[in-house]
Amino acid sequence: MTEQKSKRLGIDVGGTYTDLVVFDESTKDMRMAKTPSTPGNLVEGVINGIIALDLDLDSVQLVVHGTTMGVNTIIQGNGAKTGLLTTAGFEDVLEIGTMSKPEMYNLFYRKPPPLVSREHRLGLAERMTYEGEVLTAVDADDVRSQVRKLVDDGIVSVAVATLHAYANPENENEIARILKEDFPDLNVSVSHEISNQRREFERTSTAVLNAYIAPPAQAYFEHLRGELHARGFDGAVFIMKSNGGVMEVLTASRTPAHTLLSGPVAGSIAGKALSAATERQNVITFDMGGTSCDISVILDGEPEAAFESQVEGYPIMVPMVRINYLGAGGGSIAQIIGERSLRVGPESAGADPGPACYGQGGDLPTVTDANLILGRLDPQGALAGGIDLDIDLAATAIKSHVADKLDLSVKDAALGIVEIACVKMAYAIREVTIEQGLDPREFTLISFGGAGPMHTPFIASMVGIRQVIVPWSPGTLCGWGMLNTDLRHDVVQVVDYGGRQLEQLDLADMFARLESQGRAALIEQGVAAASLITNRAIDMRYKGQEHTLTIPVAEGPINDATLTDLSARFNQMHDRKYAHASPDEPVEFVNIRVEAVGRLDKPGLYKPRVVPTNGADAASETRIVTFKEGDLPTAIYQRDQLAPGTRIDGPAIVTEEGSTTLVPPAFALTVDEYGNLIIDVPEAASA
Between 58 and 435, CB nearer to other proteins: 435
- Altogether, the residues listed in the chain come to a count of 687
Which of 3, 339, 555, 683: binder of other proteins (CB under 8 A)?
339
**CB within 8 A of 437, min separation 6: which ones?**
575, 576, 577
Between 334 and 669, CB nearer to other proteins: 334
The angle at the Cα of 526, spanning 522 to 527, to the nearest 5 degrees, equals 60
Between 33 and 397, CB nearer to other proteins: 397
Between 392 and 439, CB nearer to other proteins: 439
577 binds other proteins (CB under 8 A): yes
431 binds other proteins (CB under 8 A): yes
Q: Which letter, b or e, does each residue of 130-160 get, where b requires 16 or more Cβ atoms within 10 Å of its Cβ? A: eebeeeeebeeebbeebbeebbeeebbbbbb
- Residue 545 gets which letter from DSSP? B
103 binds other proteins (CB under 8 A): yes
Sites for other proteins among residues 358-417 (CB under 8 A): 406, 408, 415-416
Between 119 and 649, CB nearer to other proteins: 119
Which of 6, 38, 48, 129: binder of other proteins (CB under 8 A)?
129
Least Cβ distance, residue 216 to other proteins (angstroms): 25
Helices (H), 587-648: none
Closest CA to 292 of 459, 139, 451, 512: 451
Distance between CA 266 and CA 11 in Å, rounded?
A: 11
Between 217 and 374, CB nearer to other proteins: 374
Which of 342, 351, 391, 678: binder of other proteins (CB under 8 A)?
342
102 binds other proteins (CB under 8 A): yes
Task: Using the rule CB under 8 A, give the single segment among 29-37, 288-296, 339-347, 360-368 that binds other proteins.
Answer: 339-347
Between 507 and 549, CB nearer to other proteins: 549
- What track of x and - describes contact with other proteins for positions 491 through 530 (by CB under 8 A)? -----xxxx-------------------------------
Least Cβ distance, residue 118 to other proteins (angstroms): 4
Which of 22, 122, 163, 522: binder of other proteins (CB under 8 A)?
163
Task: Using the rule CB under 8 A, give the single segment among 290-298, 468-476, 490-498, 511-519 that binds other proteins.
Answer: 490-498
Distance between CA 403 and CA 399 in Å, rounded?
A: 5
Q: Which helix (H) or strand (E) holds 511?
A: helix 504-524
Closest CA to 523 of 487, 572, 565: 487
Cα distance from N-terminal residue to C-terminal residue, the chain = 51
Q: How many CB atoms lie under 10 A from the CB of residue 40?
A: 6
Task: Using the rule CB under 8 A, give the single segment among 6-14, 514-522, 530-538, 545-553 that binds other proteins.
Answer: 545-553
Sites for other proteins among residues 72-101 (CB under 8 A): 89-93, 95-101
The angle at the Cα of 538, spanning 532 to 541, to the nearest 5 degrees, equals 170
579 binds other proteins (CB under 8 A): yes
Q: How many CB atoms lie under 10 A from the CB of residue 554?
A: 10
Between 129 and 360, CB nearer to other proteins: 129
Which of 181, 234, 363, 585: binder of other proteins (CB under 8 A)?
585
Q: Are 163 and 128 in contact (CB under 8 A)?
A: yes
199 residue type, one letter:
R
Q: What's the half-sphere exposure (Cβ side, CA atoms, 13 Å) at 372?
A: 27
Least Cβ distance, residue 360 to other proteins (angstroms): 27
Distance between CA 480 and CA 8 in Å, rounded?
A: 10
Which of 409, 504, 559, 582: binder of other proteins (CB under 8 A)?
582
